[in-house]
């Protein structure tokens, strides 16, 4: 009799848990049913949806390794690209994929939205046991102790946040299946998809339209001397933490209307003794003044990776 009571209790608890998951997943689906789904693929996941109930997922996904093979792909990458959404815009291109496919060299584009900087990137690298041989950084500037709101939530790891994160992971599986049938989903909320294989964003179309807005250098704000000194100090610490030879750390900058990123990167590279690459930025267009557009990114990133070849040969072979 005593044994049966414990069995009934275990069944009741299990049913309660399953019921809570089903109800919560159902509510998450209702709340975010409008997220765009057209760019799901075998390895892409929903990194961000402009919905109050979904928002950012990629910070938690990469830190906790939630998507299949995500952490493995970060760990096996010989080349990792770091930075903010500017990094994602600049290196999420066919040119980059084709180049590394030709070399048979795994890479991962590990920038983040919300203007994320070095503190969170380092946390993901460490948690993933990443062992890159080359790190490329869009230093615009990148070296900062600042954390975005999503990054803070991820690092704090409170139960309520982890529950929502798990529901987002589950929701995608439901969303992907439901929206496979034409005309079922409204597709009204812009979304960013991300490859678990190499980290590239798929966002031109599902999130932002391709357009060509010229860079307006008259709007660029100066980089104050005290900001540079802070970036230099944090850059030193970051390079020591990742443990790479400085010739295998490559700083760069991309044209935008808000800051002379190439100028900042060049000055930091000289101060830190790292490598640097600055492809031609003639006639580059942007999506919004801050992010390079896809057409320009294909040309610029193609030039970048070809220039990167001697560094790869030296650092990976070595």
Separation CA 83–CA 112 (nearest Å): 7
Q: How confident is the model at residue 42 (pLDDT cuts 50, 70, 90)?
A: confident
Show Cβ contacts of residue 87 under 8 Å, excluding neighbours closer than 6 positions: 81, 109, 110, 111, 137, 138
pLDDT over 90 at 38, yes or no = no
- Looking at the predicted structure, is the pLDDT value of residue 3 above 50? yes
Give me the residue spans of the domains in the chain.
Answer: 36-317
CA distance linking residue 85 with residue 77, whole number of Å: 20
For residues 248-276, average pLDDT: 95
The yes or no reply on domain 36-317 and CATH 2.40.10 is no
Whether the pLDDT of residue 266 is over 90: the answer is yes
Q: Which residues have CB under 8 Å from 244's CB, separation 6+? A: 132, 133, 134, 135, 315
Residue 120: the pLDDT is 98
Please report which confidence band the pLDDT of residue 317 belongs to, taking 50, 70 and 90 as the band edges: confident
Using CB atoms within 10 A of its CB, is residue 143 exposed (0-12), middle (13-18) or buried (19+)?
buried
Average model confidence (pLDDT) across the chain: 91
Is pLDDT of 16 > 50?
A: no
Write down the pLDDT at residue 287: 95
In the prediction, which pLDDT does 7 show? Answer: 55
For 103-150, write each residue's pLDDT tens digit.
999 999 999 999 999 999 999 999 999 999 999 999 988 999 999 999
Reply yes or no on whether the pLDDT at 18 is more than 50.
no
């Amino acid at each position: 009799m005593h044994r049966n009571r414990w069995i009934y209790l275990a069944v009741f608890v299990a049913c309660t848990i399953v019921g809570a998951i089903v109800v919560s997943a159902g509510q998450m689906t209702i709340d975010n049913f409008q997220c765009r789904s057209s760019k799901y693929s075998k390895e892409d996941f929903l990194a961000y949806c402009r919905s109050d109930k979904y928002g950012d997922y990629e910070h938690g996904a990469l830190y906790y390794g939630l998507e299949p093979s995500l952490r493995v792909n970060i760990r096996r990458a010989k080349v990792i690209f770091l930075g903010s959404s500017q990094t994602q815009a600049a290196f999420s291109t066919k040119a980059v994929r084709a180049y590394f496919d030709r070399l048979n060299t795994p890479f991962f584009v590990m920038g983040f939205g919300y203007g994320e900087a070095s503190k969170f990137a380092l946390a993901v690298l460490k948690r993933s046991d990443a062992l890159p041989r080359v790190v490329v950084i869009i230093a615009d500037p990148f070296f900062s102790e600042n954390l975005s709101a999503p990054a803070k939530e991820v690092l704090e790891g409170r139960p309520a946040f982890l529950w929502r994160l798990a529901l987002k992971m589950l929701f995608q599986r439901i969303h992907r299946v439901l929206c496979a049938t034409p005309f079922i989903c409204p597709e009204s909320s812009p979304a960013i998809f991300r490859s678990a294989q190499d980290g590239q964003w798929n966002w031109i179309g599902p999130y932002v339209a391709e357009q060509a807005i010229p860079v307006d250098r008259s709007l660029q704000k100066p980089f104050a001397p005290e900001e540079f000194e802070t970036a230099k100090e944090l850059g030193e610490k970051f390079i020591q933490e990742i443990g790479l030879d400085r010739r295998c750390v490559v700083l760069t900058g991309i044209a935008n209307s808000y800051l002379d990123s190439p100028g900042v990167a060049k000055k930091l590279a000289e101060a830190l003794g790292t490598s640097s690459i600055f492809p031609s930025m003639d006639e580059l267009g942007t999506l919004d003044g801050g992010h390079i557009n896809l057409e320009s990114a294909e040309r610029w990133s193609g030039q970048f990776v070809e220039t990167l070849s001697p560094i790869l040969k030296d650092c990976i072979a070595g």
